[in-house]
Structure 1
Amino acid sequence: MPGARPNYILLPVSPLFIAFSLTCAFMLNLLPWGQWTGAPDFVALVLVFWGIHQPRKVGIGVAFAMGLLMDVHDATLLGENALAYTLLSYVATMIHRRVLWFPVLTQAMHVFPLLLLAQAIQSFVHFFATGRFPGWLHFIESAVAVALWPVITWLLLAPQRRAVDRDHTRPI
């Protein structure tokens, strides 16, 4: 079929690469731009990515641990991010088979409600604990994260792609 996108057989992902990507996402969240309006939550984005692409390797336990780290960093109510990331990881694991059938831009449209849900949970817990609503502009963060989905997908799948020039002595 002309114009169809090629289907690649991906190599297995290294657990060290998963840990490295989560560490990099955490470090990006530590930078001062995390306090700006519209700055994406990189940890949530990478957790959703690995929850969709590798649900057996990155699950709810990893999401909970990353959420506790973000709670400590943000000095928020302990468990605010942990609850949001845990639910985010759970839903991403639930829909992972369906989402992988779609192209990257359609995947981004499936990820958008997940990120909005995580932000809504964080806002609800924050509002319940402090009585202050962060404002509607706070939810722009999900739109910015979805705009980064194709870039994140390309970066995190790059080590798993096979060489373009195949060696004909290999069986696959």
Structure 2
Amino acid sequence: MPPQYLLLPASRAFITFSLIAAFVLNLLPWGRIPGVPDFMALALVFWNIHQPRMVGIGIAFLFGLLLDVHDASLLGQHALAYTLLSYGAMSLHRRVPWFEMPAQMLHVLPLFLLAQAVTLVVRLAVGGDFPGWGWFLPGIATTLLWPLADLLLLAPQRRAVDRDENRPI
């Protein structure tokens, strides 16, 4: 059993920074590299699970619209996917943190695949071609980054408020 940490409250500044950093990572010109993870989806799901009152569906919708504008895709495609993704994550926010990491990854995998499926359905609905089953690789790659996101995004909350060598937390 992994050690249980008493977590400090999450800083709004750190949450904002992590969401903007994930947005910037999504803006990078990855080109046609198959399986590049959706960093924005990862950050949204993580904060919707760990801090659902600070990061909600409205923020997911806003970042989705910004990504739609950047990608020149159908307006609302990412917004719809991120909104459904956030709703699913918020519905699991009490359950997921209690599991070990592999079980957490199994809980978030369907969420990431659902987001990919929603963008695919919207794409097909407006007359696009089916891109192949490789379309779902980013959802799997994003799930594989879940342990790293847990490690990095919870790190500032794991430090002790008052360092005491006799009474470590």
In which range does the TM-score fall when normalised by the shorter chain?
Answer: over 0.9
Computed over aligned residues only, the root mean square deviation of the Cα atoms, in angstroms, reads 1.9
- The yes-or-no answer on 1:120 pairing with 2:117 is yes
How far the C-alpha of 1:129 sits from its partner, in A, is: 1.2
1:139-158 equivalences under 5 Å are 139-158=136-155
Further displaced range: 31-40 or 97-106: 31-40
Aligned to 1:78: 75
The AA in structure 1 aligned to 2:146 is W
1:31-46 equivalences under 5 Å are 31-33=28-30, 35-46=32-43
Aligned to 1:14: 11
Aligned to 1:92: 89
Aligned to 2:49: 52
Aligned to 1:133: 130
Further displaced range: 30-39 or 114-123: 30-39
How far the C-alpha of 1:143 sits from its partner, in A, is: 1.1
Q: Percent of counterpart pairs with the same letter? A: 61
The AA in structure 2 aligned to 1:72 is V
How far the C-alpha of 1:133 sits from its partner, in A, is: 1.6
Aligned counterparts of 1:22 and 1:5: Cα–Cα separation in 2: 27
Deviations, residues 102-151 of structure 1 (Å, cap 9, x unaligned): 01221111000000001000000011113312221010111111111100
Aligned residues: 168
Aligned counterparts of 1:14 and 1:40: Cα–Cα separation in 2: 25
TM-score (norm 1): 0.92
Which residue of 20, 28, 37 maps to 1:23?
20
Aligned counterparts of 2:165 and 2:17: Cα–Cα separation in 1: 33
What are structure 1's unaligned runs of at least 5 residues? none
Aligned to 1:63: 60
The AA in structure 1 aligned to 2:85 is L
Which residue of 82, 96, 101 maps to 2:98?
101
TM-score (norm 2): 0.93
What are structure 2's unaligned runs of at least 5 residues? none
